[in-house]
Amino acid sequence: MKKLQKQVENFINKREWRKYHTPKELLLALVEEIGEFRNIIKW
């Protein structure tokens, strides 16, 4: 598991994604996905 975590960390760092992984951005992305899921279930 530690090896996989290190690979993910390296993947993120190479692409400079750290700035997009703030709690605010992650929460907004989660809310958006939940909204899309709701629409699938609704119809």
Render pLDDT for 1-43 as a digit per residue (tens, 0 to 9): 999 999 989 998 999 888 878 889 889 999 999 999 999 998 7
User: 43 by DSSP, 3-state: which?
Assistant: coil
Contact by Cβ (8 Å): 12, 21:
yes
User: What whole-number distance in Å separates Cα of residue 15 and Cα of residue 20?
Assistant: 11
Tokens 């290190």 locate to 6
pTM tops 0.85: no
